[in-house]
């Protein structure tokens, strides 16, 4: 998203802009219910305390176990921690009743979870007149039937804010849609769509075992608690599906070829047992690295879509002149070749993960509804 926000702590008011002691007489322009108060949802709650969010009213918030619709409780800074201790049992109906009661012109459900069961309801919510803003990829990046249900629901005039689902708000989906609106068409797409895999292979030069880097990445919070979620390539595949579908390729989830970096013997272990055997990843990666190095190449975990709609994610060798060979940190990169960007690709690059930028993408999508 391109919204520029001042999130400096010195400008933050003491309280979130919700109805607290006195209920404002005027209905807000935008009312929101937040599902998920984890890393991303927690960062969004902080942004709701900034002047940029002054036109929004939070009327409900929930984690997987509890929820809150009381204005005074919602206004507290410690709402996330409070929900871990107390609150009403989960019940979407009463959250949505709070949205209805707000009288807001735009009623928005923000999904900051990874819940497949919540994602499966997005189309129904849109059809009922709620806008949905999501960091959750499970619907648009899931089964093709879910994607089709989503497109059908959007015919009702409500909107789906999905900037946070790919590149944590880097302007990739918006650019793709804008090109299509202008009659341009995506020919090929290639890039690094995972912040954690970007960091791992930007760092890896054979001098330290891959397992040591993986442990460090986990400690830095770059990987999921179970790093197999990153190493499996499934998350990258979901992002590739979202991009491809938005470009007009109606791919099924089984049509993306995914090269899983986790050896078969480690896939079904519990997390602790897997973490105890990380060294088993070292030899295969070291061997691939040595082969790449002998050809003046480096390893990158790339997502690729070709002109025939063939989609693949996996570890590949790229020459040192390749754009993905010159990435830093947790950068994501998206190289789009289109009918009009056909001599050189249009490249979008930057931090593609992290709670603040992801929450900002959600806020930007919400504000765009005003």
Ligand X SMILES: NC(=O)c1ccc[n+]([C@@H]2O[C@H](COP(=O)([O-])OP(=O)(O)OC[C@H]3O[C@@H](n4cnc5c(N)ncnc54)[C@H](OP(=O)(O)O)[C@@H]3O)[C@@H](O)[C@H]2O)c1
The residue among 246 and 338 lying less far from ligand X, judged by its C-beta, is 246
Catalytic hit among 46, 107, 137, 239: 239
Residue 129: CB minimum distance to ligand X, A: 20
Q: Does residue 293 bind ligand X (CB under 6 A)?
A: no
Q: Is 139 helix (H, G, I), strand (E, B) or coil?
A: coil
Q: How many angstroms separate the CA atoms of 353 and 222, rounded?
A: 8
Residues ≥6 apart with Cβ < 8 Å to 201: 298, 299, 300, 301, 315
Q: Does residue 211 bind ligand X (CB under 6 A)?
A: no
Give the x/- contact pattern for ligand X in 104-143, rule: CB under 6 A. --------xxxx--x----------------xxx------
Considering only residues 52 to 111 of the shown chain, the ones binding ligand X according to CB under 6 A are 62-65
Residue 331: CB minimum distance to ligand X, A: 13
Residue 135: CB minimum distance to ligand X, A: 3
Residue 164: CB minimum distance to ligand X, A: 5
Q: Does residue 241 bind ligand X (CB under 6 A)?
A: no
| Annotation says 26 is catalytic | no
| DSSP code of residue 50 | S
Q: Does residue 330 bind ligand X (CB under 6 A)?
A: no
Place of tokens 């900037």: 163
Residue 173: CB minimum distance to ligand X, A: 13
Q: Does residue 359 bind ligand X (CB under 6 A)?
A: no
Strand ranges (E), the chain: 30-35, 56-62, 66-68, 88-89, 106-111, 131-134, 160-161, 186-192, 256-258, 297-305, 311-319, 331-338, 346-351
Q: b vs e for 250-277, b when ≥16 Cβ sit within 10 Å of the residue's Cβ?
A: ebebebbebeebbeeebeeeeeeebbee
Q: How many angstroms separate the CA atoms of 274 and 280, rounded?
A: 10
Q: How many angstroms separate the CA atoms of 300 and 10, rounded?
A: 41
Q: Does residue 360 bind ligand X (CB under 6 A)?
A: no
Nearest residue by C-beta to ligand X? Answer: 38
Place of tokens 């509804």: 369
Give the x/- contact pattern for ligand X in 168-197, rule: CB under 6 A. x-----------------------------
Q: Does residue 198 bind ligand X (CB under 6 A)?
A: no
234 neighbors 138 (Cβ within 8 angstroms)? no
- Provide the annotated active-site residues: 239
Question: By the criterion CB under 6 A, which residues form the site for ligand X?
Answer: 35-41, 62-65, 112-115, 118, 135-137, 164, 168, 353-355, 358
């Amino acid at each position: 998203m391109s919204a520029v926000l001042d999130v400096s702590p010195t400008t933050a008011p003491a309280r979130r802009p919700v109805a607290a002691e006195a209920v404002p007489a005027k209905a807000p322009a935008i009312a929101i219910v937040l599902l998920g108060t984890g890393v991303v949802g927690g960062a969004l709650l902080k942004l709701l305390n900034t002047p940029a969010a002054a036109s929004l009213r939070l009327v409900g918030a929930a984690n997987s176990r509890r929820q809150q619709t009381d204005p005074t409780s919602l206004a507290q800074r410690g709402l996330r921690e409070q929900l871990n201790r107390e609150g009403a049992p989960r019940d979407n109906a009463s959250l949505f009743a709070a949205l209805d009661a707000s009288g807001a012109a735009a009623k928005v459900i923000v999904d900051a979870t990874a819940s497949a069961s919540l994602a499966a309801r997005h189309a129904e919510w849109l059809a009922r007149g709620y806008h949905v803003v999501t960091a959750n990829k499970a619907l648009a990046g899931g089964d093709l039937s879910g994607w089709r249900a989503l497109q059908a629901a959007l015919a009702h005039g409500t909107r789906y804010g999905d900037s946070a689902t790919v590149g944590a708000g880097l302007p990739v989906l918006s650019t793709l849609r804008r090109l299509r609106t202008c009659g341009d068409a995506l020919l090929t797409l290639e890039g690094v769509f995972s912040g954690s895999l970007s960091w791992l292979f930007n760092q890896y030069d054979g001098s330290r075992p891959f397992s040591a880097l993986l442990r460090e990445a986990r400690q830095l919070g770059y990987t999921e608690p179970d790093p197999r979620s990153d190493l499996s390539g499934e998350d990258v595949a979901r992002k590739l599906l979202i991009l491809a579908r938005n470009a007009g390729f109606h791919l099924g989830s089984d049509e993306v070829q995914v090269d899983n970096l986790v050896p078969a013997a480690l896939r079904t272990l519990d997390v602790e047992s897997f973490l105890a055997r990380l060294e088993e990843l070292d030899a295969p990666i070291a061997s691939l690295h040595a082969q790449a190095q002998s050809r003046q190449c480096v390893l990158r975990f790339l997502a690729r879509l070709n002109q025939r709609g063939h989609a693949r994610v996996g570890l590949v060798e790229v020459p040192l002149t390749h754009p993905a060979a010159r990435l830093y940190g947790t950068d994501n990169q998206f190289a789009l070749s289109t009918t009009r960007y056909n001599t050189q690709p249009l490249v979008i690059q930057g931090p593609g993960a992290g709670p603040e930028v992801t929450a900002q993408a959600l806020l930007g999508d919400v504000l765009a509804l005003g």
